[in-house]
Amino acid sequence: MGLDLRIPLGLMFLSIGALMLGYGAITWNSPIYAQSLGQNINVLWGGVMALFGAMMFFLGRRARWQNDPTHPRTWERDEAEAARINRH
């Protein structure tokens, strides 16, 4: 059982990004953004962090699916590979 760090890191970035997105959405027209030239930095970087976290989580889960011999997608890949070999 190997630990793929992409899964917990993806969840961490996804949760922090979602919190930042939520906070930025709640404080959309707040005067605190005057210091950042009117840009809502929380929404911007919350979205970046959430996308990065989702990508890391997806890649970690995909690697686990590809290495799991009981997963249905593995059977489909094996059958497709066998069919490709048998054609030649």
Using alpha carbons, list the distances in angstroms from residue 67 to 40, 42, 64, 71.
41, 37, 5, 9
For the whole model, what pTM was predicted? 0.70
Spatial contact of 57 and 7, defined as CB atoms under 8 Å apart? yes
pLDDT value at residue 43: 94
Q: What are the sequence ranges of the domains in the chain?
A: 6-87
pLDDT value at residue 74: 57
Tokens 């996804």 found at: 14
Give the confidence band of 72 by pLDDT, cuts at 50, 70, 90: low
Q: pLDDT tens-digit profile of 25-71?
A: 999 888 888 888 889 999 999 999 999 999 999 999 888 777 766 66
Whole-number Å distance between alpha carbons of 13 and 56: 9
Please name the residues in contact with 35: beta carbons below 8 A apart, sequence gap of 6 or more: none
Give the confidence band of 73 by pLDDT, cuts at 50, 70, 90: low
Please name the residues in contact with 18: beta carbons below 8 A apart, sequence gap of 6 or more: 46, 50
